[in-house]
Structure 1
Amino acid sequence: VYLRWNSRSAWMTTLVSGLLLAILIGPPRSLLFVIPYGVLGVQLGYHWRHKASWLISLPVGALIVTLGIFFRIWLLSWMAGEDLWGYLVAQVVQLTDWITNRLLDFGLLGLGAIGQLSLGTIQIAAVAMVFFSSVVYLFTVHLTAWILLERMGIAMPPPPQWVQQILDE
Structure 2
Amino acid sequence: MLTSTTMNLLKVHGCHRLRPPISHLSQNIHPTHHKSKLSLVSSASTHSSNPHFRIFTTNSKLRNVRVSETGTPLWTQTDDREENAYSPEDLTMNGEAYQKTLRLVECSMFAALGGLAYILSSSLAIENYFGCFFALPIVFSSMRWDIVAGRKTMVATATLLLVLAGPIKAITYLLMHGFLGLAMGSLWRSKTSWGVSVFLSAIVRAMGAMGYVVMYSFLIRENILALITINIHASVTFILSSFGFLAIPSMNIIYTMFGTLLLINCCFFVFLLHLLYGLFFTRLGMKASLRLPKWFAKAI
* Alignment pair present for 1:157 and 2:297: no
* Alignment pair present for 1:54 and 2:186: no
How many pairs align? 158
Aligned counterpart, 1:3: 143
Going from structure 1 to structure 2, the CA distance change for 1:30 and 1:50 (only over 3 Å counts) comes to same
Q: In percent, how many aligned pairs have the same letter?
A: 20
- Pairwise CA distance, 1:158: 1.0
SS of corresponding position for 2:202: helix
Where does structure 1 differ by over 4 angstroms across 4 or more consecutive aligned residues?
none
Aligned counterpart, 1:91: 231
Distance 1:11 1:150 in 2: 23
Letter in 2 for 1:43: A
Distance 1:2 1:89 in 2: 37
Distance 2:166 2:211 in 1: 17
Letter in 1 for 2:206: T
The alignment's TM-score, normalised by the length of structure 2, stands at 0.49
Letter in 2 for 1:137: F
Any gaps of 5 or more consecutive residues in structure 1? 105-110
Going from structure 1 to structure 2, the CA distance change for 1:119 and 1:80 (only over 3 Å counts) comes to same
* Alignment pair present for 1:118 and 2:250: yes
Distance 1:118 1:160 in 2: 44
SS of corresponding position for 1:157: coil
Distance 1:160 1:98 in 2: 45
Going from structure 1 to structure 2, the CA distance change for 1:22 and 1:50 (only over 3 Å counts) comes to same
SS of corresponding position for 1:71: helix
Give deviations 1:100-143, integer Å, cap 9, x for gaps.
467x2xxxxxx22x600001110111111111100010011001
Distance 1:101 1:150 in 2: 51
Going from structure 1 to structure 2, the CA distance change for 1:115 and 1:43 (only over 3 Å counts) comes to same
Q: Choose 1 or 2 for highest CA Rg.
A: 2
Distance 2:148 2:208 in 1: 22
Aligned counterpart, 2:41: none
Give deviations 1:53-80, integer Å, cap 9, x for gaps.
0111001000000000110011100011
Letter in 2 for 1:61: S
Going from structure 1 to structure 2, the CA distance change for 1:75 and 1:154 (only over 3 Å counts) comes to same
User: Which of 195, 201, 213 lines up with 1:73 in the alignment?
Assistant: 213
The alignment's TM-score, normalised by the length of structure 1, stands at 0.84
- Pairwise CA distance, 1:2: 0.2
Letter in 2 for 1:68: G
SS of corresponding position for 2:192: coil
Which deviates more from structure 2 when the two are superposed, residues 34-43 or residues 72-81? 34-43
Distance 1:73 1:160 in 2: 38
SS of corresponding position for 1:3: helix
Letter in 2 for 1:82: E
Distance 2:203 2:147 in 1: 20
Distance 2:230 2:278 in 1: 37
**Native 8 Å contact 1:36 1:65 kept in 2:** yes
Aligned counterpart, 2:269: 137
- Pairwise CA distance, 1:87: 2.0
RMSD: 2.1
Give deviations 1:21-53, integer Å, cap 9, x for gaps.
111221122111113411111111111122210
- Pairwise CA distance, 1:96: 2.5
**Native 8 Å contact 1:36 1:64 kept in 2:** no
**Native 8 Å contact 2:233 2:251 kept in 1:** no
Distance 2:176 2:152 in 1: 16
